[in-house]
């Protein structure tokens, strides 16, 4: 079977610092997350000090991130 590779990229017209701060801040995720754009009514909660993020929805399922 032949090996297949698929790649996709976009150009973000923002500084590296701006992009980093957007990705690092869980409260900004609903703005750009393809999963949360798919299900805007998904329940999202944030933990103490912004270091935890949890979601629960019919389409996106449930889970959490911590750092």
CA–CA separation, 13 and 67 (whole Å): 27
User: What pLDDT, on a 0 to 100 scale, did the predictor assign at position 48?
Assistant: 78
- For 16-55, the pLDDT digits (tens) are 999 998 888 888 888 888 888 899 899 999 987 778 889 9
Total number of residues shown for the chain: 67
Query: How would residue 66 be classed by pLDDT, with cut points 50, 70 and 90?
Result: confident
Tokens representing 64? 């959490």
- Which residues make beta-bridge pairs with 55? 44, 63
Tell me the whole-structure pTM to 2 decimals.
0.66
Residues 6+ apart with CB under 8 A from 43: 55, 56, 57
In this prediction, residue 8 carries a pLDDT of 92
> Is pLDDT at 67 greater than 90 in this prediction?
no
Q: What is the DSSP letter of 27?
A: G
């Amino acid at each position: 079977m032949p090996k297949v590779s698929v790649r996709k990229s976009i150009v973000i017209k923002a500084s590296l610092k701006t992009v980093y701060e957007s990705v690092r801040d869980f409260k900004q995720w609903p703005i750009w997350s393809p999963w949360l754009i798919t299900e805007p009514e998904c329940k999202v909660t944030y933990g103490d000090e912004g270091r935890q993020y949890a979601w629960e929805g019919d389409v996106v399922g449930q889970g959490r991130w911590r750092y």
